[in-house]
Amino acid sequence: MASTTARAPPQDASKTINVGTRKSLLAMTQAEIVVAALKAAQPDYTYVIHGMTTAGDRDQNSALYNLGKGLWTTQLEDKLMANEYDLVVHSLKDMPTTLPEGCILGCTTTREDPRDTLVIKQELVDKHGWKSLADLPDGSVIGTSSLRRIAQLRRRYPSLKFKDHRGNIHKRLQKLNDDPELSGIILAAAGLQRMGMDAHISQFLESDSGGILHAVGQGALGVECREGDERVLNILRSLQDEKTTLACIAERSLMRTLEGGCSVPIGVETHWVDGKLRLRATVVSLDGTEGVDAEEAESISTAEAAEEYGKRVALDLVSRGAGKILDAINAAKPVPTV
Ligand SMILES: NCc1[nH]cc(CCC(=O)O)c1CC(=O)O
């Protein structure tokens, strides 16, 4: 019997863009957001999204600081360099501040809400009307595995307790519901909003409310591509957001200057105020007893100036004691097992 399947017209490889990302629902949603924007700006291309399970997705047990920073990105970058993918969509906060040879941050998309949020267990909200960290009684247990969040929370709310809490957003919300020990968890606003789950948010945390600063790059999407790949760089130019890009360059430069190759728990907050980029940053010891804070504002209009600005604020933090705090954290770190 003759085949009735119509042969698809040959694909023009130069018009196909292979987009890689992690396979989690949040990562796939983020890739779809980027592809929708690319389709609108560059409709001549065909975009194909590929989801991948990375080492970071598989290892749910090791403490986060025990895992290399590139755990969520390295395998995706291998595919990028092998030309299997043409671009990779990441949460910018999961991207190491130094990328492998040949890979570059092709563009940073418009930042969504960069704040962390507190989600209080629904049962406790219904019963007591609790809405914020300040409402929680002494000894309440917060689920989070992030050293940045734990250190800052210990400093501001010394009576809170913490429990390791990992997994994708759905799993974390489910665990909050099921675990009688937990009163609340901390999640990034952007993830919840992208998944349409922001109704769970009890409190938005920021320097002026809750006293917690977010992670470097939080709330922004970073699109990685091959250095010198003009076809892809041209396409990505249509997505680039200038204000987000400069703010995130400054944040990443601050982090790069502080970390010396290791991931460190630092919080930041950047806002454009009267045309200036205001950068707040904090480095806190893991027990929350010591902390160094910075706040500056500067007119920034180039990537180089943003880079210099982040570096300068980082060196200022170091000169006022952040170096000592970070050395103690790095000395206490177990040797990475993966
Ligand atoms: N740590 C995982 C991660 N990476 C990016 C986001 C949220 C989305 C974003 O910051 O853009 C999250 C979840 C969370 O921290 O709650």
DSSP code string of 40-72: HH-TTSEEEEEEE--HHHH--SS-GGGS-GGGG
* Same domain membership, residue 92 and residue 18: yes
- CA of 204 from ligand 1 middle (Å) equals 15
For the domain that residue 198 is a member of, what is the CATH number? Answer: 3.40.190.10
pTM for this prediction: 0.91
Ligand 1 pocket member 24 (CB < 6 A):
no
Tell me the ipTM for this assembly.
0.94
Residue 215: inside a domain: no
Residue 9: inside a domain: no
Report the length, in residues, of the chain: 338
* Same domain membership, residue 297 and residue 248: yes
Ligand 1 pocket member 94 (CB < 6 A):
yes
Q: In whole angstroms, give the CA distance from residue 35 to residue 39.
A: 6
Ligand 1 pocket member 191 (CB < 6 A):
yes
- CA of 209 from ligand 1 middle (Å) equals 20
User: Locate tokens 């030309």: which residue?
Assistant: 83
Alpha helices (runs of H) in 42-185, residue ranges in sequence order: 55-58, 74-81, 122-128, 147-156, 169-178
Q: How many domains does the chain have?
A: 3
* Same domain membership, residue 199 and residue 137: yes
* Same domain membership, residue 185 and residue 139: yes
- CA of 289 from ligand 1 middle (Å) equals 26
**Residue 158's domain spans which residues?**
116-205
* Same domain membership, residue 162 and residue 190: yes
* Same domain membership, residue 224 and residue 83: yes
Residue 27: inside a domain: yes
* Same domain membership, residue 120 and residue 105: no
* Same domain membership, residue 249 and residue 235: no
Residue 200: inside a domain: yes
Residue 31: inside a domain: yes
Active site residue 94: yes
Ligand 1 pocket member 218 (CB < 6 A):
yes
Query: Under a CB-based contact definition with an 8 Å cutoff, are residues 197 and 119 in contact?
Result: no
Residue 214: inside a domain: no
* Same domain membership, residue 91 and residue 47: yes
Residue of the nearest CA to atom 9 in ligand 1? 219
* Same domain membership, residue 236 and residue 178: no
* Same domain membership, residue 248 and residue 121: no
Ligand 1 pocket member 190 (CB < 6 A):
yes
Half-sphere exposure of 174 (CA within 13 A, CB side): 6
Ligand 1 pocket member 35 (CB < 6 A):
no
- CA of 99 from ligand 1 middle (Å) equals 19
Residue of 12, 59, 94, 208 marked active site: 94
Alpha carbon separation from 103 to 140, 210, 267 (Å, rounded)? 44, 37, 26
Per-residue pLDDT 10s for the chain (338 aa) are 444 555 555 556 789 999 999 999 999 999 999 999 999 999 999 999 999 987 777 655 554 444 556 777 899 999 999 999 999 999 999 999 999 999 999 999 999 999 999 999 999 999 999 999 999 999 999 999 999 999 999 999 999 999 999 999 999 999 999 999 999 999 999 999 999 999 999 999 999 988 999 999 999 999 999 999 999 999 999 999 999 999 999 999 999 999 865 667 899 999 999 999 999 999 999 999 999 999 999 999 999 999 999 999 999 999 999 999 998 888 877 655 44
Q: Which tokens sit at 185?
A: 């968890």
- Closest ligand 1 atom, CA of 194? 8
* Same domain membership, residue 133 and residue 100: no
